[in-house]
């Protein structure tokens, strides 16, 4: 029995007491609290020398789809189960915020949409999400094609130079090239600002670029950018600081992620020449030698599935991060933990997209690159509480998403905090990949095992994705 005499629930001591009481109650009423959860041990030494998400996968196979990971005094609950992920991301989404992630991102993204607490998020999501309307996306396709053409022209010129020396191949770090391309696109899409990094010698965001962005007279721009939209929509609730945070957040969110999905798409395709040929055959049929348009893009289905399959194998980011704002009880997962676990308020959580996307319980040949897998409907009715894969749940969807897979596949997250830029990113990646493969055959320069993975917010390579590019020989 906990007796509390204060009536002011905002007072920190009272709040603490109430939280403890509520944690205790949820723990008593549910099957078990964090105490009864499997614990991943021997953790810290395993964390060195390879990305964290690899270790989280091994522990998932060993301990199950909900386990506790302790780093000294700090503990995280790791989730690899669609039913539990659905609960945290959608059904009980407002009991969680971004926790550790918000702490890390605050200095760069401020109160932008990704780290924003629930109060600010509610106001800003309402204003920002409509910015991605279909006319905006249509205008963006032109930017995607213009920028991708700058890249392919650059590669053609490099090849011509080699040709004059009697060679028909160039070697390039395609990860760096995709990073430049994605930066140019997102600069134009968000700010109507051209970083011009594809054609510059040292393509990094320079202080001068940032200064120019800060000094612009935003009120006189005639363009299709998100900046223009947000300036026009600006109500009393957004000051200049908020606008800056929102736009910087989208610049960052849309840059590395797209560069990474293009990198891994090429990495996977280069190891599967027959799939590369199949992709090129689709491009020849749909585009011929022409450029993609908004309408033609819908017909590049195989290219889109390649992008989506690359996001399954290399999700960006590989982990979603949450912190419980109040105590909660997780639903039982698919593997018999029928009672679920009590989650005390303040618990830090990783939802491992990498584990979900490679779960042997939900995917056939989970580690194989098989874009065609999404065309095969899989019901999996024997898993209680999970509705299986069913495209009819999201008719007309541009890509196999979290609704179709009932949260087994989360390429852009799910629930209220799902990515606002999903269609932008998917169209952008489809255009960039199609325009590259329309013109060139791509091979890895060295063996794929030598491409080492590292992670920050996204999965990238340690030393670049070095490839050989040749002019296509088999154009139909
Ligand atoms: C959120 C993935 C591109 C803007 C997210 C989330 C994921 C994701 C998984 C959910 C994060 C969470 O729940 O913690 C991706 C991937 C992309 C991509 C894989 C590219 C392939 C973009 C682009 C933009 C963007 C191009 C903007 C132009 C955002 C924003 C959020 C978000 C603002 C936060 C949404 C909210 O909290 O309401 N993204 N994203 N993303 N993304 Fe993306």
Please write the tens of the pLDDT for every residue from 52-87: 899 999 999 999 999 999 877 788 999 999 999 999
Alpha-helical segments (H) within 5-117:
12-29, 43-46, 52-63, 82-86, 100-109
Q: Is the pLDDT of residue 274 over 90?
A: yes
Instruction: Give the Å distance between the CA of 280 and the centre of ligand 1.
Output: 29
Kindly tell me if the per-residue pLDDT of 121 is higher than 90.
Answer: yes
Q: Which atom of ligand 1 is nearest to the CA of 320?
A: 14
Q: Give the C-alpha distances (Å, rounded to integers) separating 408 from 360, 383, 388.
A: 11, 12, 8
Q: What's the whole-number mean pLDDT along residues 121-129? A: 94
HSE-CB at 162 with a 13 A cutoff on CA atoms is 16
Q: Which tokens hold the place of 125?
A: 């999501």
One DSSP character per residue, 345-395 reads TT-EEEEEHHHHHT-TTT-SSTTS--GGGGGS----TTSTT-----GGGST
> In a 3-state reduction of DSSP, which class is residue 305?
helix
DSSP 87: I
Torsion sign over Cα 338, 344, 345, 351: negative
At 473, is the pLDDT very low, low, confident or very high (cuts 50, 70, 90)?
confident
- Which residue owns the Cα nearest ligand 1 atom 32? 419
Tokens coding 326:
């109040």
89 pLDDT above the threshold of 80: yes
On the question of pLDDT at 282 being above 90, the answer is yes
Q: Considering only CA atoms, which residue is closest to atom 42 of ligand 1?
A: 419
Is the model's pLDDT at 211 over the cut of 70? Answer: no
DSSP 248: H
Whole-number pLDDT of residue 419: 97
| Closest ligand 1 atom, residue 415 Cα | 13
Which atom of ligand 1 lies closest to the CA of 190? 28
Instruction: Using pLDDT thresholds of 50, 70 and 90, give the confidence band for residue 11.
Output: low
Q: d(Cα 409, Cα 353) in Å, to the nearest integer?
A: 8
Give the per-residue pLDDT at 230.
84
User: Coil, strand, or helix at residue 320?
Assistant: strand
User: What pLDDT score does 289 carry?
Assistant: 96
Lowest mean pLDDT: which of 106-110, 206-210, 294-298, 385-389? 206-210
The predicted pLDDT at position 116 comes to 95
Higher model confidence: residue 10 or residue 157? Answer: 157
pLDDT mean across residues, the chain: 87
Arithmetic mean of pLDDT, 307-315: 98
CA angle 266, 271, 276 (to 5 degrees): 60
**Which pLDDT score is estimated for 219?**
47
Task: State residue 27's pLDDT score.
Answer: 46
ipTM attached to this prediction? 0.99
Ligand 1 center from residue 29 Cα (angstroms): 36
Give me the mean pLDDT over the 98-103 stretch: 92
Instruction: Check residue 337 and give its pLDDT.
Output: 57
The answer to whether residue 377 scores a pLDDT higher than 80 is no
Q: How far is the CA of 421 from the centre of ligand 1 (A)?
A: 6
Quick one: pLDDT band at residue 205, thresholds 50, 70, 90? low
Token representation of residue 65: 């789809």
Rounded average pLDDT over 9-38? 58
Residue of 253, 255, 304, 354 to test ligand 1 pocket, by largest number of atoms within 8 Å of CB = 253
Overall average pLDDT of the 271-288 stretch: 98
Give the pLDDT of residue 376: 79
Residue 304 CA from chain centroid, whole number: 15
Residue 382: predicted pLDDT: 72
Overall size of the chain counted in residues: 476
Q: Are 415 and 320 in contact (CB under 8 A)?
A: no
Which tens digits make up the pLDDT trace of 421-441?
999 999 999 999 999 999 999
Looking at the predicted structure, is the pLDDT value of residue 137 above 60? yes
The predicted pLDDT at position 29 comes to: 45
The yes-or-no verdict on residue 307 having pLDDT over 70 is yes
Average pLDDT over residues 391-408: 94
Q: Over the Cα atoms of the chain, what is R_g? A: 24
pLDDT class of 1 with cuts at 50, 70, 90: very low
Percent of the chain with pLDDT over 70: 83
Q: Ligand 1 centre and the CA of 432: distance in Å? A: 19
Ligand 1, CB within 6 Å, residue ranges: 113-114, 125, 249-250, 253-254, 257-258, 261, 311, 316, 320, 412-413, 417, 419-421, 424-425
Give the range among 141-145, 152-156, 189-193 with minimum mean pLDDT: 189-193
Kindly give the distance from the C-alpha atom of residue 464 to the centroid of ligand 1, in angstroms, as a whole number. Answer: 24
Is 148 in contact with 435 (CB distance < 8 Å)? yes
pLDDT bracket for residue 4 (50, 70, 90): very low
State the pLDDT confidence band at 214, using cuts at 50, 70 and 90. low
Which residue has the CA at smallest separation from atom 36 of ligand 1?
A: 417
Provide the pLDDT for residue 36.
Answer: 82
By most ligand atoms within 8 Å of CB, the mutation choice from 116, 183, 421 for ligand 1 is 421
Estimate the crossing angle of helix 240-270 against helix 174-191, to 10 degrees.
150
pLDDT at residue 26, rounded to an integer: 47
Confidence of residue 24 (pLDDT cuts 50, 70, 90): very low
Instruction: Scan for tokens 């299986």, then name that residue.
Output: 388
**Phi and psi, residue 453, nearest 5°:** -95, 140
């Amino acid at each position: 029995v906990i007796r509390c005499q204060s009536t002011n629930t905002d007072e920190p001591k009272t709040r603490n007491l109430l939280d403890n009481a509520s944690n205790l109650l949820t723990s008593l009423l549910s099957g078990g609290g964090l105490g009864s959860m499997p614990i991943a041990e021997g953790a810290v030494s395993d964390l060195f020398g390879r990305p964290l998400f690899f270790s989280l996968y091994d522990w998932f196979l060993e301990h199950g789809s909900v386990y506790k990971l302790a780093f000294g005094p700090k503990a995280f609950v790791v989730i690899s189960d669609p039913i539990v992920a659905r609960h945290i991301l959608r059904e009980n989404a407002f009991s969680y915020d971004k926790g550790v992630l918000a702490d890390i991102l605050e200095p760069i993204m401020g109160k932008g949409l990704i780290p924003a607490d629930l109060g600010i998020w509610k106001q800003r999501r309402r204003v920002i999400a409509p910015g991605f309307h279909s006319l905006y996306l249509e205008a963006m396709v032109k930017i995607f094609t213009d920028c991708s053409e700058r890249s392919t022209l650059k590669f053609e010129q490099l090849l011509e130079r080699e040709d004059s020396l009697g060679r028909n191949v160039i070697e390039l770090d395609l990860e760096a090239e995709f990073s430049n391309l994605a930066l140019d696109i997102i600069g134009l899409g968000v700010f109507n600002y051209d970083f011009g990094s594809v054609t510059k010698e040292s393509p990094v965001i320079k202080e001068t670029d940032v200064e120019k962005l800060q000094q612009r007279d935003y009120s006189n721009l005639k363009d299709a950018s998100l900046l223009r939209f947000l300036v026009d929509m600006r109500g009393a609730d957004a000051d200049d600081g908020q606008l800056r945070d929102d736009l910087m957040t989208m610049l960052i969110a849309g840059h590395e992620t797209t560069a990474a999905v293009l990198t891994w798409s090429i990495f996977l395709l280069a190891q599967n020449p027959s799939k590369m040929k199949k992709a090129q055959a689709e491009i020849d049929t749909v585009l011929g030698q022409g450029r993609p348009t908004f309408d033609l893009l819908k017909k590049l289905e195989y290219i889109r599935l390649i992008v989506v399959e690359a996001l399954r194998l290399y999700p960006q980011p590989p982990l979603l991060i949450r912190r419980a704002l109040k105590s909660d009880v997780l639903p039982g997962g698919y593997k018999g933990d029928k009672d679920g676990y009590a989650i005390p308020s303040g618990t830090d959580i990783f939802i491992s997209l990498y584990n979900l996307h490679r779960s042997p319980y939900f995917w056939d040949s989970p580690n194989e690159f098989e874009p065609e897998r999404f065309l095969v409907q899989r019901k999996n009715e024997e898993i209680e509480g999970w509705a299986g894969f069913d495209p009819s749940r999201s008719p007309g969807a541009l890509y196999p998403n979290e609704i179709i897979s009932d949260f087994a596949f989360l390429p852009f997250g799910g629930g209220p905090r799902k990515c606002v830029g999903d269609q932008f990113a998917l169209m952008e990646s489809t255009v960039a990949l199609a325009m590259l493969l329309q013109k060139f055959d791509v091979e890895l320069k060295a063996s794929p095992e030598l491409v080492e993975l590292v992670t920050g917010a996204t999965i990238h390579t340690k030393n670049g994705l070095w490839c050989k590019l040749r002019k296509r020989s088999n154009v139909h």
